[in-house]
Amino acid sequence: MDNEDIEIKVLLEAVRLKYGYDFTQYASASVSRRVKKALSESGLEKISEMIPRIIYDRKFFNSFVRNLSINVTEMFRDPLFYCELRERVIPYLQTFPHIKIWSAGVSSGEEVYSLAILLKEEGLYDRSMVYATDFNDIVLESAEKGIYPADNIQKSTKNYQKAGGRESFGKYYHADYGSAIFDRSLKKNIVFANHNLVTDSGFGEMNLILCRNVMIYFNLELQNHVFQLFDSSLCNNGFLCLGSKETIDLSVIADAYMPVSKKHRIYQKKIHRQGGTLKNAE
């Protein structure tokens, strides 16, 4: 282990002890790249110099966390995934009087608003409660505002149409001073909350969990921890949706799920645990 790797390890441990954010099980290459980005923006020369700043300067820490957050997203990202959600998951959810959904690692919110639009168009929004979570308070605040650059709207509109959208996309936002401000009605049944997948407990009896393009940054041990968290949070026959480069196949809970759309990483919980054994769900 070279000096730089040691400095990164000590820095991450300082973050864990001081603030409770545990990045120690993130994929090492990804963490190293993001720490170096934070260093270049800090004006400091060595990673070790960031440690006292992180411990004693909350503003500096917030800036550091922004670099470690995964904030790359867009409206209706991977449009064919939303087509599969409409065709294969929505009909099942329509059989429930109340629906609970967890969108984990929501980042700046584009995915959760995409989901809200889909639920509205399928007549499910008014009986749904969506929990939108992320460990980064700054991006959560942005997500709750639902304000995005108008320059992104053309791309968002194309994604929406490819995702099977049934209205004019302009119905869901209004433009103002170079921004697209999404309609307040989309937020009515969304709860934005800080949640750390590494350290916090899950939510109970979810019908649908989305965590897309987040776990590719975790090592195998942390992936399995999060999969178990999701498994304990999903009701029997609930659905788990992952990103296009993620899979449940090699995880500790793989046998408890069946693929609904293997290509688009949608899985359904088919069995539950009882007394330490696996048992077919009723």
- Please tell me whether residues 44 and 130 are part of one structural domain: no
Which of helix, strand or coil describes residue 106?
coil
Query: How many angstroms separate the CA atoms of 30 and 66, rounded?
Result: 14
- Please tell me whether residues 8 and 96 are part of one structural domain: no
> Range of 28's domain?
3-68
Residue where one domain finishes, among candidates 68, 89, 104:
68
Q: Tell me how crowded residue 173 is: count the other CB atoms within 10 A of its CB.
A: 22
pLDDT in the model for residue 137: 85
Phi, psi of 168 (to 5 degrees): -80, 130
Query: Taking Cα atoms as reference points, which of 262, 182, 263, 217 lies closest to residue 24?
Result: 217
pLDDT in the model for residue 98: 97
For 14-28, what is each residue's pLDDT tens digit?
988 888 778 887 878
Average pLDDT per block of 10 residues along the chain, 282 residues long: 89 88 81 90 92 93 78 86 97 97 94 97 98 90 93 94 96 93 96 92 93 87 94 96 93 95 96 43 36
Domains contained in the chain, number:
2
- Please tell me whether residues 63 and 100 are part of one structural domain: no
Residue where one domain finishes, among candidates 68, 95, 117:
68
Whether 74 is covered by a domain: the verdict is no
- Please tell me whether residues 62 and 94 are part of one structural domain: no
Contact 50, 39 (CB under 8 A): yes
Model pTM score: 0.82
Whether 169 is covered by a domain: the verdict is yes
The H or E element containing residue 104 is: strand 99-104
Q: Tell me how crowded residue 19 is: count the other CB atoms within 10 A of its CB.
A: 17
Q: Tell me how crowded residue 261 is: count the other CB atoms within 10 A of its CB.
A: 18
Contact 103, 133 (CB under 8 A): yes
Q: Which CB contacts under 8 angstroms, 24+ apart, belong to 11-14?
A: 11/35, 11/47, 11/48, 11/50, 11/51, 11/54, 14/51, 14/54, 14/55
